[in-house]
């Protein structure tokens, strides 16, 4: 009996038992030392980046910007109000990103693109209001777009995909570091820069010094030009009826007092000029940073090969 019992025990040991199925998601993973551990579970739900609070504020800015462009030809007061609110929300989306911990690269790009596009649209209108100064406004558009695009591209290429365009070392540029890291400085420069262009927009409807068409009248009693702010064209592509509410608002706009816009322009002009200087510095620094990377890349690749062949 003991021998039979021993053989049965040996057979039980040698015969592999049927493995018990492991529930899905609890599989055991063997590491290199033979010990087992469970993989980390993905407890975080899938987030919809496009519905983050800062991005929702960004969408609201776009809607307000389009509304301001719609009223821009005829409603200077309405347009200025909508445009100003859109610009002020630029500070709110950053606060929301920090408060809700929803800072994203999509939100950063959305914010920058919205800023560049709204400013460019306003400068395009100013170019049509004062054709003699169109080349200045075109230059400001080009400088704004080029400096920010090259700066962001240089940051991604040289600093890495995880580096923000606002992370500027003091060794590279103390002024840019102060501009991007100090929230008060950044807000003041951006706000007064836009305020100067809004003041110029209002002056195109109120100041005969900048818009002589407000005083130029032909023999038939109508203005001799169709420039913005001129009573000669109380209609637009959006409001074809000359007796519409838009036309009446347009007539009232020609009677605006230019004192307040002149005060706004005088206060914001120095800051606007400083903002353009910062754009120039940003453009030059970004180009030099890219050039440093190009030199390192060419040195690592053994370029230029022609000079080495000539030396040999």
Sign of dihedral through CA atoms 252, 254, 259, 265?
positive
Q: Is 193 a member of any domain?
A: yes
Note whether residue 44 is domain-resident.
no
**How high is the pLDDT of residue 306?**
67
- Which structure tokens are listed for 154? 């240089």
Q: Is 42 a domain residue?
A: no
pLDDT value, residue 165: 83
Which DSSP letter does residue 17 get? P
Check residue 136 and give its pLDDT: 96
CA distance 127 to 121: 10
Would you state the pLDDT for residue 151?
94
- Tally the domains of the chain: 1
- Average the pLDDT over 117-146 and give the result: 95
Which of the pair, 37 or 131, is modelled with greater confidence?
A: 131
Q: Is-catalytic flag, 169?
A: no
Who wins on pLDDT, 44 or 87?
87
Specify the 3-state DSSP secondary structure of 36. strand
Would you state the pLDDT for residue 230? 46
Confirm if 81 and 59 have CB atoms less than 8 A apart. no
Asked if the structure places residue 26 within a domain, the reply is no
pLDDT at 4 over 80: no
As a whole number of angstroms, the distance between CA 139 and CA 34 comes to 67
Span 274-299, pLDDT tens digits: 999 999 999 999 999 999 999 999 99
Summarize pLDDT for 66-104 with one digit per residue, the tens. 999 988 887 888 899 999 999 999 989 889 988 999 999
Q: Say what the pLDDT of residue 31 is.
A: 42
Residue 36 pairs in a beta bridge with 30
Q: Which residues contact 18 (CB under 8 A, 6 or more apart)?
A: none
Instruction: Say which of 43, 115, 144, 169 is annotated catalytic.
Output: 115
- pLDDT confidence tier of residue 33, bands split at 50, 70 and 90: very low
243 in a structural domain:
yes
Q: Mean pLDDT across the chain, nearest whole number?
A: 79
Using pLDDT thresholds of 50, 70 and 90, give the confidence band for residue 257.
confident
Residue entry with tokens 């170019």? 127
Which domain covers residue 189, as residue numbers? Answer: 50-213+237-298
| Residue, of 179 and 32, whose pLDDT is higher | 179
Q: Report how far Cα 286 is from the mean position of its chain's Cα atoms.
A: 17
Q: What pLDDT sits at residue 223?
A: 45
The residue written with tokens 């040999």 in the block is 312
| pLDDT, tens digit, 9 for 90 and up, residues 176-233 | 999 999 999 999 999 999 999 999 999 988 876 776 666 554 445 544 444 444 444 4
pLDDT at 185: 94
**Which residue spans within the chain are E strands per DSSP?**
29-30, 36-37
How many CB atoms lie under 10 A from the CB of residue 250? 25
169: domain CATH number is 1.20.120
- Which has the minimum average pLDDT: 16-20, 44-48, 88-92, 137-141? 16-20
Compute the average pLDDT of residues 264-278: 97
Q: What is the mean pLDDT of residues 96-115?
A: 92
CB atoms within 10 A of CB 8: 10
Closest by CA position to 84, among listed 56, 52, 122, 129: 122
Please check whether residue 303 lies inside any domain of the structure.
no
Q: What is the DSSP letter of 235?
A: -
Is residue 45 one of the residues assigned to a domain? no
How far, in Å, CA of 159 to CA of 283, rounded? 16
Q: Is residue 202 part of a domain?
A: yes
Q: Among residues of the chain, what percentage have pLDDT more than 70?
A: 69
């Amino acid at each position: 009996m003991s021998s039979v019992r021993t053989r049965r025990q040996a057979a039980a040991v040698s015969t592999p038992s049927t493995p018990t199925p492991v529930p899905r998601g609890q599989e055991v993973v063997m590491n290199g030392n033979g010990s087992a551990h469970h993989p980390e579970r993905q407890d975080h739900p899938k987030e919809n980046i496009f519905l983050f609070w800062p991005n929702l504020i960004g969408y609201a800015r776009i809607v307000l910007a389009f509304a301001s462009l719609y009223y821009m030809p005829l409603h200077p007061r309405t347009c200025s109000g909508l445009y100003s609110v859109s610009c002020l929300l630029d500070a709110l989306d950053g606060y929301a990103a920090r408060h809700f911990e929803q800072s994203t690269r999509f939100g950063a790009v959305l914010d920058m693109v919205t800023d560049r596009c709204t400013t460019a649209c306003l400068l395009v209108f100013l170019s049509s209001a004062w054709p003699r100064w169109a080349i200045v406004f075109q230059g400001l558009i080009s400088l704004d777009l080029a400096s920010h695009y090259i700066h962001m591209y240089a940051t991604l290429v040289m600093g890495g995909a995880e580096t923000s365009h606002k992370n500027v070392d003091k060794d590279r540029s103390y002024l840019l570091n102060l501009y991007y890291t100090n929230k008060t400085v950044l807000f003041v420069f951006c706000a007064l820069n836009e305020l100067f262009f809004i003041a110029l927009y209002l002056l195109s409807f109120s100041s005969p010094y900048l818009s002589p068409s407000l005083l130029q009248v032909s023999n038939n009693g109508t203005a001799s030009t169709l420039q913005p702010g001129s009573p000669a064209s109380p209609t637009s592509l959006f409001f074809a009826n000359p007796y519409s509410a838009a036309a009446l608002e347009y007539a009232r706009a020609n009677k605006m007092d230019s004192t307040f816009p002149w005060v706004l322009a005088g206060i914001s002009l120095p800051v606007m000029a400083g903002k353009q200087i910062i754009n120039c510095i940003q453009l030059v620094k970004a180009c030099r940073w890219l050039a440093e990377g190009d030199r390192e890349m060419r040195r690592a690749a053994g370029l230029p090969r022609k000079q080495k062949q000539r030396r040999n």
